[in-house]
Amino acid sequence: MGMTGVGKSSFIQLFTPDTVGVGDDLESFTTQVAIFPCKMPNSDESFYLVDTPGFDDSNRPDQEILRELSSWLTKTYSENIRLSGIIYLHRIIDVRFSGAAMRNLSMFKKLCGDGNLASVVLATTFWAKVDEKTGREREDQLKTTPAFWGNMVNRGSQVFRHDFEEQSGSSIIQYLLDRRDKPVYAIQDEMVNKKKTLEETAAGSEVQAEMDKMRRKYEQMIVDIKQEMQEHLKNRDEAARQALEAERKEREEFIRRELEERKKMQAQADALWDQREAEREKERQEHMRRLEAMQKQYLEMQLQAAKAKTDAEHQRRLAELQKQIEIAQVKNEALERSRFSVRAKSFVREFVDFFR
């Protein structure tokens, strides 16, 4: 887990031949949890790594990210699949915690709870981009400040450095694989054992409180905007009035989405999962339609290109489309990977075999 750009996908890519989707072009692909079958380098030991979206996507409200994470964490738990641990990544080059970084960390803590923290690895990345002394000072600050990692370290969480190389990644994996206990994280206990709705959990109520604040702010803004619009109407300033009208619509759309999200959070684990599956299925179908349309367009352009071979602009557009199709195909794989049923079944089988 961790913010966008901390190196989650790069970490996973060290252990799997599958395309994880590292970096900008593919970044938006990690909008859902994705499971990767992995292998330890130089050994047959296999394990699964799970890529997750961070709470910092400006296009998706935090509630949606929380629904995705918690539906996955609770589904696995209720199917008796236990995680070995959670790895939380943070970039050592980041001088201070931004608002989004703090929110991310705080949500992470709420999801985990206070127990089982020895099965949580807190790792810093991007060591090549910082000098040793500065890095060490920042790492110390992370470890000793309770609001950062301090309180988790005190309860047993392990701090690692990951330098983008297989070696440091392997040490982290080995540490978690060697732990034979089966952690139960707060969100799993609250939703599966205690049958709370997502809204009633610690993580859920925190997200909801944040969103409430935001909604109240937006509601006040809409009142102000309406007043201002009246003034512009009086002064016959049509351009200014239209600009405000657009802003008002945007705020109202946020409030509408927020209320919709709020309703979705009033679900218990099973309903949350069904909701997720229905949303994902819709997304998969829409994506397939887009991909097919692009492929059709590509074929048509290729035909035209055969007729007009010299047209450089045409060639450029063809190449551009080809690239988009490639990206869309990787996304397709990503969408497949987020499907729980197929993967989880083979996962459970291997898991059972492992302990036999």
Ligand X SMILES: Nc1nc2c(ncn2[C@@H]2O[C@H](COP(=O)(O)OP(=O)(O)O)[C@@H](O)[C@H]2O)c(=O)[nH]1
Q: Minimum distance between the CB of residue 3 and ligand X, rounded to whole angstroms?
A: 7
Neighbours of 272 (CB within 10 A): 23
Q: 126 contacts which partner out of Mg ion, ligand X, none, CB within 5 to 8 A by kind?
A: ligand X
| Sign of the C-alpha dihedral computed for residues 52, 260, 277 and 197 taken in this order | positive
CB 247 within 8 A of CB 225: yes
Q: Minimum distance between the CB of residue 279 and Mg ion, rounded to whole angstroms?
A: 20
Q: Establish if 10 lies at the interface with ligand X (CB under 6 A).
A: yes
Beta bridge partners of 91: 125
The tokens describing 337, both together, are 């990977």
Q: What string of DSSP letters covers 193-238? A: IS---GGGSHHHHHHHHHHHHHHHHHHHHHHHHHHHHHHHHHTT-H
| Closer to ligand X by Cβ: residue 80 or 134 | 134
| 158-217 binders of Mg ion (CB under 5 A) | none
| Closer to ligand X by Cβ: residue 127 or 340 | 127
Q: Minimum distance between the CB of residue 120 and ligand X, rounded to whole angstroms?
A: 17
Q: 23 contacts which partner out of Mg ion, ligand X, none, CB within 5 to 8 A by kind?
A: ligand X
122 closest CA partner among 162, 173, 87: 87
Q: 347 contacts which partner out of ligand X, Mg ion, none, CB within 5 to 8 A by kind?
A: none
| Closer to ligand X by Cβ: residue 6 or 73 | 6
| Closer to ligand X by Cβ: residue 162 or 196 | 162
Interface residue with Mg ion, options 2, 12, 30, 187 (CB under 5 A): 30
Q: Minimum distance between the CB of residue 212 and Mg ion, rounded to whole angstroms?
A: 29
Q: How far is 182 from 262, CA to CA, in rounded Å? A: 32
Long-range contacts, 39-47 (Cβ 8 Å, 24+)? 39/15, 40/15, 40/170, 40/173, 40/174, 41/14, 41/15, 41/166, 41/170, 45/177, 46/350, 47/15, 47/84, 47/173, 47/177
Q: Minimum distance between the CB of residue 317 and Mg ion, rounded to whole angstroms?
A: 29
| 21-60 binders of ligand X (CB under 6 A) | 22-23, 27, 30
Q: Establish if 85 lies at the interface with ligand X (CB under 6 A).
A: no
Q: How far is 224 from 230, CA to CA, in rounded Å? A: 10
Using CB atoms within 10 Å of the CB of residue 1, give its burial: 0 to 12 exposed, 13 to 18 middle, 19+ buried: buried
Q: Establish if 9 lies at the interface with Mg ion (CB under 5 A).
A: yes
Q: Specify the stretch interacting with ligand X by CB under 6 A; choose among 20-28, 226-234, 237-245, 297-305.
A: 20-28
The residue type at 83? L
Size of the site for Mg ion (CB under 5 A): 3
Binding mask 90-129 for ligand X (x = CB under 6 A): -----------------------------------xx-xx
| Closer to Mg ion by Cβ: residue 124 or 201 | 124
Q: Establish if 338 lies at the interface with Mg ion (CB under 5 A).
A: no
Alpha-carbon radius of gyration of the chain = 23
Q: Establish if 52 lies at the interface with Mg ion (CB under 5 A).
A: no
- Using CB under 6 A, list all residues that contact ligand X: 2, 4-10, 22-23, 27, 30, 125-126, 128-129, 164
- Using CB under 5 A, list all residues that contact Mg ion: 8-9, 30
